[in-house]
Amino acid sequence: MLSNFLVCVWAVLPLFILMLIGAAVKWKGLLTAGEVSRLNHMIFVVCYPCMMFENLYGADLAQAFDLGLILFGVGSVLTVCAVSIPIVMKIEPSQRSRGAMIQAIYRSNFIIMGLPMAINVYGRGNVAVTAVLIAVVVPLYNVLAVVILEVFRGGKPNVKTVVKGVVTNPIILGAIAGLFFVFTGIRLPAPIETVIGDLSVTATTMALVVLGASFSFRSLERCRRNLVICVTGRLIAVPGIFLTAAAAAGFRGVAFVSLVSMLAAPTAISSYTMAESMGSDGELAGNCVIFSSAFSCLTLFLWLFLFKNLGMF
């Protein structure tokens, strides 16, 4: 029991500490809001692709590509989305808030919070399965977000724009590059491998520090009820239902931890950016990111501890 407890603590505690450091950086005035935004964009464009590339580069694709895991992951996202739409439409009359709520419930921060947690459990270089799942799920997140936010503001989704956004996503490009080297067997020069590895390590650290620095508690009076619904759905209902189903379906080891990383992670930071830019409820979306990220440090630990004791990994 104690060893299981320590495994889960070591998986989550570093994430929490890095977020606290980010909050302290903001409190001390070392970074402005504009600088935080630019840093976040740099990490997304430069560091994340390297992290995706490194986790696939040189991997054994026969072991990394788990079709059952991918189908379960995609099915989970689509099911959460399909179920949350009628529920949100019934309890929330505002079209602007509906889109933000649905996105907050189904779209997890798989890369920033989920992948580092999987790495903390299994070690860097041993989570190619997780990286492949990310390469499939992240585009799905983006496509669904564009469609949902467009529909709930009364528009018609532009297929060309959606496709362009997916194929030019830096994270997807990093995954494609990694898979190219896996299939061809080509090796990069050692100095290039070192640079990519260094940028990959930087991605996790900087992303969590920037996440902590981006915390800004907005007015809660107007959206308190919806915030509670979204955070509860994201951190408790979704992982509770689908991780139980995953355990029953026989997923174990790194595959199960990959699903924990996807299903129990907080709301994606990019959901706020998209909500703001597409006429949805940006204030609610921002609060969902902030509060789900804060509470996930506890809930992620509890989910890991529960399933570790049940022998799932």
Domain-by-domain residue ranges, the chain? 2-309
Residue 103: is its pLDDT beyond 90? yes
Averaged pLDDT of the chain: 89
Angle, CA 85 vertex, CA 296 and CA 147 arms, to 5°:
95
Checking if the pLDDT of 143 tops 90, the result is no
164-223: pLDDT as tens digits: 777 788 888 898 899 899 888 899 999 999 999 999 888 878 888 988 888 776 667 778
Between the alpha carbon of residue 104 and those of residues 46, 123, 139, 172, 227, the distances in Å are: 25, 29, 16, 22, 9
Distances (CA, A) of 276 to 31, 235, 272, 282: 22, 23, 6, 5
Domain 2-309 has CATH 1.10.3470: no
Amino acid (1-letter code) at residue 66: D
Residues 6+ apart with CB under 8 A from 17: none
Mean pLDDT on 230-234: 98
Does residue 78 contact residue 238 with C-beta atoms inside 8 Å?
A: no
d(CA 161, CA 232): 32
Statement: residue 139 has pLDDT above 90: no
Mean pLDDT, residues 13-25: 90
pLDDT at 218: 62
Both tokens of 272, joined, read: 């706020």
Q: Which of 215-219, 229-233, 308-312 has the lowest mean pLDDT?
A: 215-219
pLDDT at residue 219, rounded to an integer: 63
In this model, does residue 97 exceed pLDDT 90? yes
Token digits of residue 312: 């799932």
Task: Note the pLDDT of residue 16.
Answer: 87
DSSP string, 264-305: SS-B-THHHHHHHHTTS-HHHHHHHHHHHHHHHHHHHHHHHH
- Per-residue pLDDT, 30: 94
